[in-house]
């Protein structure tokens, strides 16, 4: 499949690297020569210096033979024009665009997008996808990552083992004895910074990080097994009243997640706008980094703080300061990958990385054969797959104990006719089963071979 990507920033570059590894013909287009040179050195992609909204640049990128265009430049307008050019001049059948401005999601203007107007097939709204990711984590005490799969029948959850976790010092094969009715599979353990796909005799230790697949209805019980007690949230503090802050406040209000929401915004005019949009919330005009604002908040009254300003440093430091003053749990939006490992060591509970979430959202619309979703975890060490079993796959009809699954791959859950099945050695995969799999980076090609008939898109 031939794919033109307009924009070589963190999102565009990550998508280009992923798709090129899957043996696609990828052309990356950007106005910044330095970005193209650095990406050309690490990925097998063709690079073109030019503007995605310029027909000559798209022609040089061989748009006339492309199957898909993905527009993820920093400009919404360039992304929209790129899709228009792709449709009107080059007849590219599938067009995906990232549009940051929230007004493009307003139902009043929805008719502008379509083949007779601005022909975008898939619109990615970072604000909404990031808020959805934050909300999933708010609903999972003790989780630092939550990935809904198979129509949210299964969730893959990242958490840490507490000191009093009943699973520590126990071989994993004892899991079914300790929790016989819990539909959960441990997929990945990180011990002292080293990630590994576990075997039955491996043991968990306090402070280990764990990813597990679980039936969604069992998620709270699973987190309790790792030592995280569920307590209904009473009050959430949001730092930052931009698009994401407003959308999160509205979502919390709609879902009745917490009894009360407080939002802090440094711009006075924006604070007034937020107060009008969230009449049930308390909106404070102030700078979270100033002592006067912190002192007025009574941090001990909040269960959770979510900091999602456009400044990574503010998001990290404000959460750390509020946790020190009594807030139980903190969620920070951190865009720069260089900060992620550092701030984790400083004591942040949850880090939400917008570029990673946007990449995962876009990749859901680009698939090999019957692979419905791909989600990178542990900074690229492994990837989660949601796939549909094909009648032609040799995984069908054979007990898993007799099917030689390559090292570096683990099956976490199977969904059959709406029922979640936790795989056991004698489990037999059937045609059209939806399967959740984790694979180390070196083994992802094997997963794709199992479930691929040809590259497709939807």
Domain limits, the chain: 2-124, 150-225, 235-355, 358-457
Identify the pLDDT of residue 456. 44
358-457 matches 150-225 in CATH topology: yes
DSSP string for 378-436: TTTTEEEEEEE--TTSTTBTSBTTTS-PPTTEEEEEEEETTEEE---TT-BB-TT-EEE
Identify the pLDDT of residue 339. 55
Long-range contacts (CB closer than 8 Å, 24 or more residues apart) made by 106-114: none
Identify the pLDDT of residue 457. 41
pLDDT tens column, 346-394: 667 888 989 888 888 888 887 655 778 888 887 778 889 999 988 877 7
Q: Does domain 235-355 bear CATH number 3.10.20.30?
A: no
Identify the pLDDT of residue 107. 79
Instruction: Return the closest-CA partner of residue 363 out of 354, 372, 355.
Output: 372
Identify the pLDDT of residue 435. 95
Identify the pLDDT of residue 454. 44
pLDDT tens column, 4-52: 999 999 899 989 988 887 778 999 999 999 989 888 776 788 999 999 9
DSSP lists the bridge partners of residue 102 as: none
Identify the pLDDT of residue 437. 95
Asked if 451 and 389 count as a contact pair (C-beta separation under 8 A), the reply is yes
Contacts of 391 (CB under 8 A, 6+ apart): 431
Give 165's Cβ-side CA count (13 Å radius): 24
Domain 2-124 is classified in which CATH homologous superfamily? Answer: NAD(P)-binding Rossmann-like Domain (3.40.50.720)
pLDDT tens column, 168-221: 898 998 888 888 899 999 999 999 889 999 988 999 999 899 999 999 999 999
Q: What is the mean pLDDT of residues 425-444?
A: 91
Looking at per-residue confidence, does 57 or 118 come out higher?
Answer: 57
Identify the pLDDT of residue 189. 95
Identify the pLDDT of residue 367. 62
Contacts of 342 (CB under 8 A, 6+ apart): none
% of the chain at pLDDT higher than 70: 94
Alpha carbons 249 and 237: distance in angstroms, whole number: 10
Alpha carbons 317 and 315: distance in angstroms, whole number: 6
Identify the pLDDT of residue 11. 92
Architecture of domain 150-225: 2-Layer Sandwich (3.30)
Domain 358-457 is classified in which CATH homologous superfamily? Answer: Regulator of K+ conductance, C-terminal domain (3.30.70.1450)
Identify the pLDDT of residue 190. 92
């Amino acid at each position: 499949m031939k794919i033109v990507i307009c924009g070589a920033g963190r999102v565009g570059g990550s998508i280009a690297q992923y798709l090129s590894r899957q043996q696609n013909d990828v052309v990356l287009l950007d106005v910044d020569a330095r970005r193209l040179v650095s990406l050309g050195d690490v990925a097998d992609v063709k690079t073109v210096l030019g503007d995605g909204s310029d027909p000559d640049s798209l022609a040089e990128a061989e748009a006339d033979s492309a199957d898909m265009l993905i527009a993820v430049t920093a400009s919404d307008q360039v992304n929209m024009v790129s899709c228009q050019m792709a449709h009107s001049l080059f007849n590219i059948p599938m067009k995906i665009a990232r549009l940051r401005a929230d007004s493009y999601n307003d139902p009043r203007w929805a008719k502008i997008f379509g083949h007779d107007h601005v022909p975008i097939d898939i619109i990615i709204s970072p604000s909404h996808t990031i808020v959805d990711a934050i909300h999933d984590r708010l609903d999972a005490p003790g989780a630092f990552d939550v990935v809904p799969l198979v129509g949210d029948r299964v969730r893959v959850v990242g958490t840490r083992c507490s000191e009093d976790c009943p699973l520590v010092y126990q071989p994993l094969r004892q899991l079914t004895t300790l929790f016989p009715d819990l539909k959960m599979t441990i997929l990945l353990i990180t011990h002292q910074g080293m990630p590994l796909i576990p075997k039955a005799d491996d043991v968990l230790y306090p402070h280990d990080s764990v990813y597990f697949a679980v039936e969604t209805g069992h998620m709270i019980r699973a987190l309790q097994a790792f030592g995280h007690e569920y307590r209904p949230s009473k009050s959430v503090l949001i730092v930052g009243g931009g698009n994401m802050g407003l959308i999160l406040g509205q979502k919390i209000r709609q879902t009745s997640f917490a009894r009360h929401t407080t939002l802090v915004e440094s711009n006075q005019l924006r604070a007034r706008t937020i107060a009008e949009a969230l009449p049930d919330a308390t909106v404070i005009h102030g700078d979270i980094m100033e002592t006067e604002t912190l002192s007025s908040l009574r941090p001990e009254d909040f269960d959770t703080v979510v900091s999602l300003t456009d400044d990574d440093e503010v998001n990290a430091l404000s959460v750390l300061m509020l946790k020190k003053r009594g807030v139980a749990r903190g969620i920070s939006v951190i865009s720069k990958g260089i900060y992620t490992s550092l701030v984790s060591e400083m004591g942040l509970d949850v880090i939400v990385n917008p570029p990673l979430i946007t990449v995962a959202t876009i990749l859901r619309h680009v698939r090999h054969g019957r692979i419905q979703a791909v989600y990178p975890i542990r900074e690229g060490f492994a990837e989660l797959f949601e796939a549909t079993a094909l009648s032609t796959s040799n995984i069908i009809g054979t007990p898993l104990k007799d099917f030689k699954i390559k090292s570096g791959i683990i099956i976490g859950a199977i969904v059959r006719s709406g029922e979640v099945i936790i795989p056991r050695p004698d489990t037999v995969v059937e045609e059209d089963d939806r399967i959740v799999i984790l694979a180390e980076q070196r083994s992802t090609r094997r997963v794709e071979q199992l479930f691929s008939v040809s590259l497709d898109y939807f």
